[in-house]
Structure 1
């Protein structure tokens, strides 16, 4: 059976009513459900075929309440959780590598100019990443197109604002870095770099997420 635009609109609205409001997830599900219905060769009744298709995707559309918050479909929750896990995997690994490099370089070359230049470059790049996220937030807000990536970006933007505090605090003591760090143990210096690196790479990950948001818009021609 070949579906009409009106029937496709009914499926689309049903998905929205079930909480699937993010465009890439909704369009993916819509495509699957339309295919399931159109491939139903033994059934020419749309309502029956539609019910069968919805039943097939019942688990993905099942409403769950994460931590007592508003109900959301399982497919949305799982997608959001996957992005969150990837963020922490990426940020933790990158922060460890960053901390090892910073600690090694400053221990091999413990001169004052090394501390100064390394941290100056770090704070400069960090500032650029944070400003990129602020600009990304503006365009995501302006377009008003809902994607799971855009939602994740907006929910986790607090990491970027905390980075501004770290940048401000770090720049204020930039000229005293040698005295500040030279008397710290390797462990404390590593831990200090790890915390800064963790928030930095979380902000970097948000840049990646913002790009994914705009890729979805381009892929599905939503503007």
Structure 2
């Protein structure tokens, strides 16, 4: 039994009230819940209100508010928090792998002077990567001003965009550590920084892609 547009909108408004305000996640959850309500109505002959209450009761744990990672005040429904957490976990794993690979490459350089040149080269690459990312991110940010859709991608992009200025001091700092321990830490930090820059562009492009889909629908 297919739900009517008004019934779909009823589910949509309920999700908004429960804190699911990102359009990409809301569309995904709405589709699941609508399918389950349709199934309940078809198999148990329940009316829409009864099936609606039953399905939302089954989803109640997913709507429990969970505190944000980096904020004392902000809270999200559990299902929103889970999606943001998964993305953060992916980035942490990629950062660790990238840092390990860079450190291994750094260890293969035996000469002290060549180690310094290795770090200088990475700093130069980091500088141009930062400038390119900042320019592209600014374009995406301006484009997002016209975007009517909200998404987890845009949310994560905006957070990372605001952190760009903080990393500027790291970029323009001319000092290079000369002891091996600090050099390894520096190389690992650069690896994490590369992943951070890539994540900004990735999140921005994912939101643009979602916006196109959202506009069509």
Report the TM-score when normalising by structure 2.
0.82
Asked if structure 1 preserves the Cα contact closer than 8 Å seen for 2:12 and 2:26, the reply is yes
Q: How does 1:10-159 map to 2 (within 5 A)?
A: 10-39=10-39, 40-41=41-42, 42-66=44-68, 68-102=72-106, 104-105=108-109, 107=111, 110=114, 117-159=121-163
CA drift of 1:136 comes to 2.5
Counterparts of 2:126 and 2:109, CA distance in 1? 14
Aligned-pair distance for 1:19?
A: 0.4
- Going from structure 1 to structure 2, the CA distance change for 1:146 and 1:101 (only over 3 Å counts) comes to same
The range that moved more, 41-50 or 210-219, is 210-219
Query: 1:73 and 1:111, CA in 2 relative to 1: closer, same or farther beyond 3 A?
Result: closer
Report the CA distance between 1:115 and its aligned residue. Answer: 6.0
Which structure 1 segments of 5+ residues have no match? Answer: 174-179
Question: How far is the alpha carbon of 1:100 from its aligned partner?
Answer: 3.4
Structure 1 match to 2:9:
9
The answer on whether the counterparts of 1:98 and 1:193 sit within 8 Å (CA) in structure 2 is yes
Structure 2: which 5+ runs fail to align? none
Deviates more, 1:121-130 or 1:202-211: 121-130
* Distance in 2 (alpha carbons) for counterparts of 1:216 and 1:72: 21
- The more displaced of 2-11 and 137-146 is 137-146
Number of residue equivalences: 213
Following superposition, the deviation at residue 124 of structure 1 comes to 1.6
Q: Distance in 1 between matches of 2:57 and 2:194?
A: 44
Distance of 2:154 and 2:216 partners within structure 1: 14
Cα 1:111–1:74 change in 2 (3 A) is: closer
For residue 44 of structure 1, report the CA deviation from its aligned partner: 4.6
Output the aligned Cα RMSD: 2.8
CA displacement 1:102-153 (0-9 Å, x = unmatched): 4544738729876655543332223212322232223234314211111112
Aligned partners of 1:103 and 1:186 also within 8 Å: no
Q: Show the counterpart of 1:205.
A: 199
User: How far is 1:27 from its partner?
Assistant: 0.7
Structure 1 contact 91–205 (Cα < 8 Å) conserved: no
- How far has the Cα of 1:194 moved from its partner? 2.1
Provide, for residues 21-65 of structure 1, a one-character-per-residue CA deviation record: whole Å limited to 9, x for no partner.
011111111111111122222325211111112112112122334
